[in-house]
Amino acid sequence: MREQKKQMKIMLAWTLAWVVSLGILTGAENSLWDNNIYTIIGLIINFAIGIGMIIANKNLFKTYDELQKRIQFEAMAITLGLTVVVGLTYEVSFDFGIIGKEPEFEYLMMFICLSYVVANIVNSRRFR
Protein backbone atom coordinates (compact mmCIF):
# COMPACT_ATOMS: atom_id res chain seq x y z
CA MET A 1 0.00 0.00 0.00
CA ARG A 2 2.88 2.37 0.74
CA GLU A 3 4.37 1.73 -2.70
CA GLN A 4 1.00 2.36 -4.31
CA LYS A 5 0.68 5.75 -2.58
CA LYS A 6 4.21 6.64 -3.69
CA GLN A 7 3.44 5.69 -7.29
CA MET A 8 0.15 7.60 -7.12
CA LYS A 9 2.01 10.77 -6.10
CA ILE A 10 4.51 10.26 -8.91
CA MET A 11 1.64 9.75 -11.36
CA LEU A 12 -0.05 12.92 -10.09
CA ALA A 13 3.18 14.93 -10.52
CA TRP A 14 3.70 13.72 -14.09
CA THR A 15 0.05 14.35 -14.97
CA LEU A 16 0.16 17.88 -13.58
CA ALA A 17 3.43 18.56 -15.41
CA TRP A 18 1.90 17.34 -18.66
CA VAL A 19 -1.27 19.42 -18.24
CA VAL A 20 0.76 22.53 -17.40
CA SER A 21 3.13 21.99 -20.33
CA LEU A 22 0.18 21.48 -22.67
CA GLY A 23 -1.49 24.61 -21.32
CA ILE A 24 1.67 26.65 -21.85
CA LEU A 25 2.14 25.19 -25.30
CA THR A 26 -1.40 25.89 -26.48
CA GLY A 27 -1.84 29.18 -24.64
CA ALA A 28 1.49 30.65 -25.70
CA GLU A 29 1.31 29.61 -29.33
CA ASN A 30 0.26 33.02 -30.59
CA SER A 31 1.11 35.30 -27.69
CA LEU A 32 4.56 34.37 -26.37
CA TRP A 33 6.51 33.35 -29.42
CA ASP A 34 6.41 33.88 -33.14
CA ASN A 35 9.14 31.45 -34.13
CA ASN A 36 8.27 27.88 -35.12
CA ILE A 37 11.46 26.56 -33.51
CA TYR A 38 10.09 27.47 -30.07
CA THR A 39 6.83 25.73 -30.88
CA ILE A 40 8.71 22.61 -32.00
CA ILE A 41 10.80 22.64 -28.82
CA GLY A 42 7.60 23.03 -26.78
CA LEU A 43 6.00 20.12 -28.63
CA ILE A 44 9.02 17.91 -27.97
CA ILE A 45 9.05 18.81 -24.28
CA ASN A 46 5.30 18.17 -23.99
CA PHE A 47 5.68 14.84 -25.80
CA ALA A 48 8.55 13.79 -23.49
CA ILE A 49 6.54 14.69 -20.39
CA GLY A 50 3.61 12.73 -21.83
CA ILE A 51 5.84 9.66 -22.22
CA GLY A 52 6.93 10.11 -18.59
CA MET A 53 3.27 10.23 -17.58
CA ILE A 54 2.55 6.99 -19.44
CA ILE A 55 5.50 5.26 -17.76
CA ALA A 56 4.33 6.54 -14.35
CA ASN A 57 0.85 5.15 -15.09
CA LYS A 58 2.34 1.78 -16.02
CA ASN A 59 4.35 1.74 -12.79
CA LEU A 60 1.23 2.59 -10.79
CA PHE A 61 -0.61 -0.32 -12.42
CA LYS A 62 2.14 -2.67 -11.25
CA THR A 63 1.15 -1.90 -7.65
CA TYR A 64 -2.54 -2.74 -8.17
CA ASP A 65 -4.03 -6.01 -7.04
CA GLU A 66 -6.14 -8.12 -9.41
CA LEU A 67 -9.43 -6.43 -8.52
CA GLN A 68 -8.03 -2.92 -9.01
CA LYS A 69 -6.58 -3.97 -12.35
CA ARG A 70 -9.90 -5.43 -13.45
CA ILE A 71 -11.78 -2.27 -12.47
CA GLN A 72 -9.30 -0.09 -14.38
CA PHE A 73 -9.15 -2.30 -17.48
CA GLU A 74 -12.94 -2.50 -17.72
CA ALA A 75 -13.22 1.26 -17.30
CA MET A 76 -10.64 1.74 -20.05
CA ALA A 77 -12.45 -0.70 -22.34
CA ILE A 78 -15.78 1.06 -21.81
CA THR A 79 -14.17 4.46 -22.35
CA LEU A 80 -12.42 3.35 -25.53
CA GLY A 81 -15.61 1.86 -26.96
CA LEU A 82 -17.72 4.88 -26.08
CA THR A 83 -15.10 7.25 -27.47
CA VAL A 84 -14.94 5.48 -30.81
CA VAL A 85 -18.73 5.23 -31.17
CA VAL A 86 -19.56 8.73 -29.92
CA GLY A 87 -16.56 10.35 -31.65
CA LEU A 88 -17.34 8.86 -35.02
CA THR A 89 -21.05 9.60 -34.67
CA TYR A 90 -20.17 13.18 -33.74
CA GLU A 91 -17.93 13.56 -36.81
CA VAL A 92 -20.36 11.89 -39.22
CA SER A 93 -23.22 14.04 -37.90
CA PHE A 94 -21.32 17.12 -39.02
CA ASP A 95 -20.39 15.56 -42.36
CA PHE A 96 -24.07 14.82 -43.07
CA GLY A 97 -25.20 18.28 -41.97
CA ILE A 98 -27.08 17.09 -38.88
CA ILE A 99 -25.09 19.45 -36.67
CA GLY A 100 -23.99 22.81 -37.99
CA LYS A 101 -20.86 23.36 -35.93
CA GLU A 102 -17.67 21.47 -36.74
CA PRO A 103 -16.77 18.91 -34.04
CA GLU A 104 -14.19 20.15 -31.59
CA PHE A 105 -11.56 17.87 -30.09
CA GLU A 106 -11.98 19.54 -26.69
CA TYR A 107 -15.54 18.24 -26.41
CA LEU A 108 -14.40 14.71 -27.19
CA MET A 109 -11.65 15.00 -24.55
CA MET A 110 -14.20 16.08 -21.95
CA PHE A 111 -16.39 13.14 -22.94
CA ILE A 112 -13.43 10.76 -22.55
CA CYS A 113 -12.64 12.11 -19.08
CA LEU A 114 -16.23 11.96 -17.89
CA SER A 115 -16.86 8.47 -19.26
CA TYR A 116 -13.65 7.16 -17.65
CA VAL A 117 -14.55 8.64 -14.26
CA VAL A 118 -18.13 7.33 -14.42
CA ALA A 119 -16.95 3.87 -15.55
CA ASN A 120 -14.50 3.74 -12.64
CA ILE A 121 -17.17 4.73 -10.14
CA VAL A 122 -19.68 2.21 -11.52
CA ASN A 123 -17.09 -0.59 -11.61
CA SER A 124 -15.88 0.18 -8.09
CA ARG A 125 -19.41 -0.02 -6.72
CA ARG A 126 -20.19 -3.12 -8.75
CA PHE A 127 -17.21 -5.04 -7.32
CA ARG A 128 -17.72 -4.06 -3.66
> pLDDT tens digits, residue range 23-78?
888 876 666 667 778 888 888 999 999 999 999 999 999 999 999 999 999 999 99
C-alpha–C-alpha distance, residues 49 and 11, integer Å: 11
The per-residue pLDDT for range 69-115, each reduced to its tens digit, is 999 999 999 999 999 999 999 999 988 989 888 888 888 999 999 99
| 83 close to 114: Cβ distance less than 8 angstroms | no
Residue 45: CB partners within 8 Å, gap ≥ 6? 21
Q: So what's the pLDDT on residue 63?
A: 95
List helix spans (H) across 28-65. 36-62
Q: Please name the amino acid found at residue 28.
A: A
pTM attached to this predicted model? 0.78
Three-class DSSP category at 97 = coil
Q: So what's the pLDDT on residue 121?
A: 96
